[in-house]
Amino acid sequence: MPLTYLDRTADTDTVAAVLRRDGAVAVNSLADPELADTIVSELRPELDAFGLDNPSDFGGDRTRRIKNVLTVAPSAARLMEHDMVVGVADDILLPNCATYQIGSTDAIEVLPGQSAQALHRDDTTYPIEMAGMELQIGVMWALDDFSMENGGTRVVVGSHRFIRSWHLPDLSGWEAAVMPKGSALFYLGSIWHGAGENLSNAPRAGLVTTYSLGWLRQEYNQYLYNPPEVAARFGPRLKALLGYTPHGSGDDRLGTFGGDCPAWIETPPEPTWQDNRGRGATAADVEAQAGV
Ligand SMILES: O=C(O)CCC(=O)C(=O)O
């Protein structure tokens, strides 16, 4: 099954529908290439300082990874809280939580000579698996043109339909996301994917952010990567995404805080309907529903 490429004018419902069906979908040129260039230039000093002396089997020995992205590249906020990203995350994640959150953020520069990363699922961090309930989505932004040659992210389209405890999909059917700078690859936490081999003579930079159900622990500790003084530089949507807001407003209320913090938001800016969720039914509600 081939990877579907949509245009930046596609509506959110279409992107979410293809993502749900295929496990991944690319939206071409969703952001301006100039924004991608700005982000790379903000990241550049940190990328260049990244030591390759601690190679890992998973991360690669010719790959640079920056996790405190917002501290060094504030322009990346515009991608992390992009309207299309939030719209798609609303669609996929909100059926199973009151608010979702950023789980991890990595700027990844795959250098020439890096071999392909092992195909993997991102949601194996969590020890549960329920068919039909996605725990997270990922969005990989191409900060350079992604090609087959330079290590464009590989995806096994349709592989999200395989529950790992039953059987594995045929991983040989992977396909590389080939998309211009500024494009976004949306993928479910349950799909098999990984960075490709960089056979070119130039680095391939990407920015990947995951968004997970609000009642799960965030994969990276966002409060340490983005402490209150950093989070306070951004608007309410991003602060809420980082976790500086409670999940839920009723019996599902988690992560509450009663102190004084420059980044804290008592009421998340969206979704507006969350007040109706998670509130246990009172005797009066039950009576009202029963018409007594
Ligand atoms: O860099 C890429 O294309 C994908 C990276 C990835 O999947 C990961 O590191 O988990």
pLDDT tens-place string over residues 1-35: 899 999 999 999 999 999 999 999 999 999 999 99
Pocket test for ligand 1, best of 109, 208, 210, 220 (most atoms within 8 A of CB): 208
Provide the residue ranges of all domains of the chain, joining segments of one domain with +. 5-290
Which atom belonging to ligand 1 lies closest to the Cα atom of 206? 1
Q: What's the CATH architecture for 5-290?
A: Sandwich (2.60)
For residue 158, pLDDT over 70 is answered with yes
12 closest CA partner among 97, 76, 92: 92
Q: Sorting pLDDT into bands at 50, 70 and 90, what band is 274?
A: low
Q: 119 C-alpha vs ligand 1 centroid, how far in Å?
A: 9
pTM of the predicted model as reported, rounded to 2 decimal places: 0.93
Pair of tokens at residue 165: 């405890």
Q: How many CB atoms sit inside 10 A of residue 214's CB? A: 25
Lowest pLDDT segment from 213-227, 239-253, 262-276: 262-276
Q: How far is the CA of 110 from the centre of ligand 1 (A)?
A: 9
- Per-residue tokens: 179: 């998309």
Q: Ligand 1 pocket, 40 CB below 6 A?
A: no
Phi, psi of 55 (to 5 degrees): -65, 145
193 in contact with ligand 1, CB cutoff 6 A:
yes
For the chain, percent of residues with pLDDT exceeding 70:
91
pLDDT at residue 166 in the model = 66
Distance of CA 124 to the CA centre of its chain: 15
Q: Is the pLDDT of residue 272 over 80?
A: no
pLDDT band at 249 (very low <50, low <70, confident <90, very high): confident
pLDDT at residue 271 greater than cutoff 80: no
